Structure 1
Amino acid sequence: MGHRLSKIYTRTGDSGTTGLGDGSRVAKDDLRIAALGDVDELNSCIGVLRAQITASSIQDKTMWDKSLSLIQHWLFDLGGEVCIPNYHLVLPVSVEFLETEIDRMNEALPMLKDFILPSGSLSCSYAHQARSVCRRAERSLMTVQSRDQNIQPASLQLLNRLSDWLFVASRALQRAEGGTEVLWQKNINDTI
């Protein structure tokens, strides 16, 4: 890779454009740049979730860290895809891994009969926050795809499955910390 980041500021973006990985320049509010920012924000949220799990009393921290590390690497690959038009880095194995993990986590959880609120322990809440950012990143990427900008199906599937993984992970993390989900109450106004 060499010394690509030897100088952090370049001043090339001062006019409101930024460079893509293929050398082309686009406006900083380009749909592709917005999607790239959403993927980057999601990766940061996953980093915060990893840090919270490390600091928590949750068992199997190594298992959680391994999964979250893989996810962060896949999101970085996805960012590379978004940054370099017509370049593909995300592999279907990432989607398959998430599906296997969802099934594994779900086996230990009770059937969900009600909607749950994005609340609970810190780890659970960070997983919910990452899930909502993941859904936004998925919408942004879909917008880029709808403009015929060559986003491969595996990339969209990765974000779709990751949001599912984060939902199930939030439930598993809540239980791992000794709690249960915070359920939505249909007639909450009746309790006032």
Structure 2
Amino acid sequence: MVKLNKIYTRTGDDGTTGLVDGSRCAKHAARMEAIGAVDEANSAIGLAVVAPMAEPHRALLLRVQNDLFDLGADLATPAACADEDFAPSDMVLRIVPGQTAAIEQAIDGFTAALAPLTSFILPGGTEAAARVHVARAAVRRAERTMTALAAQAPVNPAALGYINRLSDLLFVMARALNGNGAGDILWTPGANR
């Protein structure tokens, strides 16, 4: 259980921050860039949650927000704290394949009801869809920072799969929020030449 009695500790005044294993790393390190990008994506989803939308969509986004906290904890736990296969334990929180499978199931559900795409779409439509598109772009940035971290240090493969699938979920959810694609704004290549 997390217990926060004090918000400021002054331990980060030297430009470092603590990780789950007790080690410290620079606040500008690739690991912290990834954790920060995941936090920004979570905040963007939080902004989408307050837009007018059906309760099942809101509930799914709230579930994703919880998963993103799990993802942050996973990233804040260097591989040395876990088995080589990134198995979760009582002491180490990891993203697991079941979390990605749940997203894939939601993607399949949305996709079954969507009108086929005949063009790329512009981010927008309803307020809820536009906010979900902003969250999708933030998730894509989080994925880029996570893959940059993975080029330097071991990253849970399930975490990489989760973040990749999450942007797909947000794309199809935005289309669902646009009347199952009927309200999508289509890109017209070269329209303003």
Q: Give the TM-score taking structure 1 as reference length.
A: 0.89
1:66-114 deviation digits (Å, cap 9, x = unpaired): 2112111111000001111124521111111111111111111110010
| Partner SS for 2:17 | strand
Moved over 3 A (4+): none
1:6 equivalent in structure 2: 5
Alignment partners' CA distance in 2, 1:102 and 1:115: 18
> In the alignment, which of 140, 152, 169 is matched to residue 135 of structure 1?
140
- The runs of 5 or more residues in structure 2 that have no matched partner are 80-91
Q: Which deviates further from its counterpart, 33-42 or 13-22?
A: 13-22
In the alignment, is residue 73 of structure 1 matched against residue 77 of structure 2?
A: no
Alignment partners' CA distance in 1, 2:55 and 2:94: 26
Alignment partners' CA distance in 1, 2:8 and 2:170: 35
1:170 equivalent in structure 2: 174
1:39 equivalent in structure 2: 38
Kindly indicate whether the alpha-carbon contact (under 8 Å) linking 1:88 and 1:152 is maintained by their aligned counterparts in 2. Answer: no
Question: 1:165 Cα shift?
Answer: 0.4
Alignment partners' CA distance in 2, 1:33 and 1:50: 25
Over aligned residue pairs, what C-alpha RMSD do you find? 1.6
In the alignment, is residue 186 of structure 1 matched against residue 179 of structure 2?
A: no
- The runs of 5 or more residues in structure 1 that have no matched partner are none
Alignment partners' CA distance in 1, 2:39 and 2:190: 38
In the alignment, is residue 150 of structure 1 matched against residue 154 of structure 2?
A: yes
Alignment partners' CA distance in 2, 1:62 and 1:189: 39
Count matched residues: 181
Kindly indicate whether the alpha-carbon contact (under 8 Å) linking 2:37 and 2:145 is maintained by their aligned counterparts in 1. Answer: yes
2:99 equivalent in structure 1: 94
**Residue identity matched to 1:185:** T
1:116 equivalent in structure 2: 121
Q: Give the TM-score taking structure 2 as reference length.
A: 0.88
1:25 equivalent in structure 2: 24
| Partner SS for 2:14 | coil
Question: 1:47 Cα shift?
Answer: 1.1
2:50 equivalent in structure 1: 51
| Partner SS for 1:26 | strand
Alignment partners' CA distance in 2, 1:51 and 1:17: 34
